[in-house]
Structure 1
Amino acid sequence: MSLTVLPGGRLEGKVALITGAARGQGAAAARRFVAEGARVVAADIVDELGEKLAGELGDACVYQHLDVTDEAAWPVATARAAEAFGKLDVVVNNAGVLFFSALEQTKLADYERVIRVNQIGTFLGMRAAVGPLTEAGGGSIVNVSSVEGLAGMPYLTAYTASKFAIRGMTKVAALELGDRGIRVNSVHPGAVDTQMVTDALGGAPVDLAFVGKKVALGRVGSADEIAALVAFLASDDSSYCTGSEFVADGGATATHALKV
């Protein structure tokens, strides 16, 4: 697969670590970052797909196995960026899982699994980024939350809890790290057709067109559209943005809950 590098890429010279990068929004972000001139450590637990992506992206990308819930694995992943590319400027905490269940039927083990990946994984990622980004003279942390980090949705107790937590942690980190030149922002995608959604709904492909019809733009989003927003937050074009929510939801949160 050939990749066209965008002229005057906004991420020229930057090195990024992206979690959950083997597929979906993470893979789209890795491709966009390389197209914008960055070098990328693509991290995931799906090794075959991750290695394949790195092969597609060539010398600008290396793959690193990373279970985001494993505290000891994080220093290894950030060190890989320094070893491969000399530094680390951007960390994108994208890895996540989606789980549907009515509140009264949600098992504690399932709730804890979602919290460990989505919330604790992001916490560990932010914490691991502080040292390398400080050494680099500053940088950007982008935490992928969700519209469920802005409002609730039935059957998503664990997921919503984790995404609200990401939103809150982002603000605290932004306040603590601003004087080091480290910006921290959260991204809040709406309905995006990715493998994560398919997996959460039992593994069979699902037509999400009916969901798209409920939002202002009349369609679901694409992983590439979210990747473009993440690239903006990683770039110096967003140099005065920190501690904020950036929403890409087709207008889902522009309405209220009154039914007509």
Structure 2
Amino acid sequence: MTIAITGSASGIGAATAAALTAAGHDIIGIDLKDADITGDLTDPALRAAAVEQVVARSGGVLDGLVLCAGVGPQVPDPMRIVEINYRSTIALLDALLPALRKGESPAAVVVSSVASTHIPWDKNPVATGTEAEAFAQAGDYAGSYAYAASKNAVTVAVRQRAVEWGAAGVRLNTVAPGSVDTPLLQAGMDDPRYGEAIRNFTSPVGRNGRPDEIAALIAYLLGPHAGFIHGAQFVIDGGTDAQARPTAV
């Protein structure tokens, strides 16, 4: 299989690239640096160039796509959080659908977050285009609001594509990690606004996740045993969501 992975240079993306490479697949890594294809995917021109390079490297045929690139709530500009985690992710997803349609049992996985459950779509300012006002009102915690909104939006966008992508023969799902020991989590712990809360939080299983554990789920969702899994979100968070929302189904 030929599989493209964004955010391949660190964290969950790097662990996924390593796991899939070890399984014998051909990986096309995409990141800001230290990858086969480099560039800022929020820049439309650079994103288009990245798509062209993926198509060229894959011969126009992708069997898998994993979108891991993202940033945490500590990023100073909340609008950039939405741009990276949601808009550029979905733009790249759609742009690579034609290559996926030509693949063998093709599938795509988008990395969301358990934070996607923290805000309902009908209360999400991304849904109404009122992000700027909403984030301004959130003050010092605009980044946390933007992160949850961006991850909720990307999850909804995936679910909204389930019918179209299913008809195209391409499976599409999301995984929603909780706290995972990655550079992104470390950056949050180093932030004076969020660090203490992140450091003091413990999941019901008593630890953070490991990148390789998330990678294993992603690899499964790309593989042949997940052939009837489509349009779903898989929470992998050590029980965090169950603890916060015990009656949610």
What is the TM-score normalised by the length of structure 2? 0.80
Aligned partners of 2:77 and 2:63: how far apart in 1? 34
Aligned amino acid, residue 234 of structure 1: L
Q: Among residues 13, 20, 37, which one is paired with 1:64 in the alignment?
A: 37
Instruction: Give the CA deviation at 1:230.
Output: 0.8
Instruction: Give the CA deviation at 1:202.
Output: 3.5
Q: Among residues 241, 247, 251, which one is paired with 2:235 in the alignment?
A: 247
CA contact (8 A) 2:51 2:92 kept: no
Are 1:211 and 2:201 matched, yes or no? Answer: yes
Aligned partners of 1:199 and 1:210: how far apart in 2? 15
Instruction: Give the CA deviation at 1:137.
Output: 5.6
**Secondary structure of the residue that 1:80 maps to in structure 2?**
helix
Aligned amino acid, residue 192 of structure 1: V
Q: Among residues 93, 110, 113, which one is paired with 2:67 in the alignment?
A: 93
Q: Among residues 159, 182, 189, which one is paired with 1:171 in the alignment?
A: 159
**Secondary structure of the residue that 1:72 maps to in structure 2?**
helix
Q: Among residues 216, 220, 224, which one is paired with 1:228 in the alignment?
A: 216
CA contact (8 A) 2:106 2:169 kept: yes
Which residue of structure 2 aligns with residue 150 of structure 1?
A: 117
Map Cα deviations across residues 43-78 of structure 1 (whole Å, 9 max, x no partner): 000x2xx25xxxxxxxxxxx1113221223334334
Aligned partners of 1:216 and 1:30: how far apart in 2? 28
What is the TM-score normalised by the length of structure 1? 0.77
Paired-residue identity, %: 33
Which residue of structure 1 aligns with residue 8 of structure 2?
A: 21
Aligned partners of 2:244 and 2:105: how far apart in 1? 39
Are 1:111 and 2:72 matched, yes or no? Answer: no
**Secondary structure of the residue that 2:171 maps to in structure 1?**
strand
Instruction: Give the CA deviation at 1:83.
Output: 3.2
Identify the structure with the greater helix proportion.
2
Which residue of structure 2 aligns with residue 160 of structure 1?
A: 148
Aligned partners of 2:235 and 2:12: how far apart in 1? 15
Aligned amino acid, residue 44 of structure 2: E
Q: 4+ runs of 1 displaced by more than 6 Å?
A: 206-209
User: What value does the CA root-mean-square deviation take over the aligned residues?
Assistant: 2.4
Residues 1:24 and 1:256: Cα distance change in structure 2 (over 3 Å): closer
User: How many aligned residue pairs are there?
Assistant: 220
Task: Extract unaligned runs of 5+ from structure 2.
Answer: 120-137
